[in-house]
Amino acid sequence: MPDIFPHLDYKPKLPQRMDHGIGIVGTGGIVNYAHLPAYKKAGFKVVGITDRNREQAERTAKEHGIGKVYASLDELLRQPEIEIVDIAVYPAEQVAIVEQAAAAGKHLLCQKPLSDEYPKAVRSVELAERAKVKIAVNQQMRWDAGIRCTRLLMDDGWLGTPTYAAIQVHCKTDWSLWPWIYQGKHVEIMFHSIHYIDSLRYLLGDPAYVFTSGSRAPGETTQAETKTLTTWEYTSGLQVLIDVCHTTWQDDAYAIFRFEGTEGVIKGTIGLMYNYPTGRPDTLEFMSKRNPGYWFAARLDSMWIPDAFAGPMASLMRSIENGSEPETSGRDNLRTLQVVFAQYRSIAEKRAVRPEEISA
Ligand SMILES: NC(=O)c1ccc[n+]([C@@H]2O[C@H](COP(=O)([O-])OP(=O)(O)OC[C@H]3O[C@@H](n4cnc5c(N)ncnc54)[C@H](O)[C@@H]3O)[C@@H](O)[C@H]2O)c1
């Protein structure tokens, strides 16, 4: 019998106070099927919501039992009870809301991507810093069980020095959930792989070079990329593969991760991608040199949607309480966006790109 059963305490760490008032701007799909169920389960206090489509906000309030629907962003920002503004509108529109909310002294949880253009993302971060409010980005995959457990195992030394990492997702994505994304100029990396990019940065740090091939399947009507093959190179010799295809019609879709190191190997599945947005729990197994031949299997019972969505909000609340930075702070997110835009530059220029080449 193996003598190792690591304790994997992977659930989000809650704040001390559960009464931080939240006001939500934009009440579309993701707020209804992820933010609000997650906040209810965690016990967070949503004071009120607003949407430029008033009927949509009314429907959302009714469905989730929210007390107030505000007629405008201005009205929401005037509420002293609201300490945190949770923004879930389209990326191009986010900076204008950040500007107003920061000026009103509200802390901010922005949706990913922080912006559709790197300079606008930098401006959002600077606006928050100047107003001395906290700004976090909803890169909640860092709290998905498989990723968080991988981090805990790495922190405890089970992996040793990382040598290879891969995330491979071949699925059939229903873009009709997001027609505005499918019609835009960026699809796969900007709206989907950005989660893998952020999670891999969280686990492994920043790559020195990225190289991406972007393409789409025959007959697709988008002008953007729906399948990408990416490699990252680190100065340490670590190599990363991100292999994502959203047009898998075959009946054996898969979403897997694998981390190899000098001391062990961790592998598993990303449950959400087997049936978005319902999903299923992740799986995770690891094998250590300390116990060769024995594969430890973690029992994971939480889901990316909604459970992981409590993570960025809890981290923001904790940062407000103790004066630290949120785990997915705006400043940290600029580095995720540098990788995102470096991958687009790589596709366009057919070369390896350093993330630092992306600047405001
Ligand atoms: N974190 C994740 O995993 C995740 C998943 C899906 C979507 N998202 C992000 O969430 C955001 C919203 O996506 P969605 O799928 O909910 O879109 P959606 O179209 O379903 O909803 C967007 C809502 O925002 C409202 N809105 C737009 N601009 C507004 C403004 N200026 N003021 C007030 N309301 C406004 C719209 O009326 C609509 O109700 C996008 O940025 C998307 O990238 C994140």
Lookup result for tokens 């889901």: 303
Going from the Cα of 131 to the center of ligand 1, the distance in angstroms, rounded, reads 25
Select from 237, 240, 160 the least CA-distant residue to 199. 240
Q: Whose CA is nearest to atom 31 of ligand 1?
A: 93
Give the position, in ligand 1's atom list, of the atom nearest the Cα of 31: 16
- Summarize the confidence of residues 216-244 as an average pLDDT: 97
Distance (Å, whole) CA 249 – CA 272: 17
pLDDT of residue 5: 64
pLDDT of residue 27: 98
Distance (Å, whole) CA 341 – CA 113: 11
| Percentage of the chain exceeding pLDDT 70 | 99
Going from the Cα of 238 to the center of ligand 1, the distance in angstroms, rounded, reads 36
Going from the Cα of 180 to the center of ligand 1, the distance in angstroms, rounded, reads 10
Select from 12, 9, 16, 18 the least CA-distant residue to 322. 16
Contacting residues for 252 by C-beta, under 8 A, at least 6 apart: none
Q: Output the six-digit token pair for 107.
A: 């802390």
pLDDT tops 90 at residue 3: no
pLDDT of residue 190: 98
Q: Output the six-digit token pair for 309.
A: 């969505």
pLDDT tops 90 at residue 237: yes
Going from the Cα of 93 to the center of ligand 1, the distance in angstroms, rounded, reads 10
Going from the Cα of 232 to the center of ligand 1, the distance in angstroms, rounded, reads 30
Q: Whose CA is nearest to atom 43 of ligand 1?
A: 112
pLDDT tops 90 at residue 353: yes
pLDDT of residue 299: 87
- Summarize the confidence of residues 340-353 as an average pLDDT: 98
pTM over 0.85: yes
CA 279 to chain centre: 16
pLDDT of residue 73: 98
**132-159 pLDDT, tens per residue?**
999 999 999 999 999 999 999 999 999 9
Neighbours of 94 (CB within 10 A): 26
Distance (Å, whole) CA 298 – CA 266: 11
* 336, 198 Cβ separation under 8 angstroms: yes
Confidence class for position 4, pLDDT limits 50, 70, 90: low
Distance (Å, whole) CA 318 – CA 13: 9
| Structural element, H or E, at residue 85 | strand 84-87
Distance (Å, whole) CA 357 – CA 270: 31
pLDDT tops 90 at residue 1: no
**280-310 pLDDT, tens per residue?**
999 999 999 988 899 999 989 999 999 999 9
- Residue 8 bridge partners (DSSP): none
Our mutation pick for probing the ligand 1 site, out of 24, 25, 49, 51, counting the most ligand atoms within 8 A of Cβ, is 51
Lookup result for tokens 């069980």: 145
Round the average pLDDT of the chain to a whole number and report it.
96
Site residues for ligand 1, CB cut-off 6 Å: 25-31, 51-53, 56, 88-91, 93, 111-112, 138, 140, 178, 191
Select from 2, 56, 1, 3 the least CA-distant residue to 25. 56
Going from the Cα of 167 to the center of ligand 1, the distance in angstroms, rounded, reads 26
* 265, 160 Cβ separation under 8 angstroms: no
Lookup result for tokens 């953007």: 224
Domains of the chain, each with CATH number or no CATH:
21-139+310-327 (3.40.50.720), 141-304+337-357 (3.30.360.10)
| Percentage of the chain exceeding pLDDT 90 | 96
Our mutation pick for probing the ligand 1 site, out of 25, 54, 111, counting the most ligand atoms within 8 A of Cβ, is 111
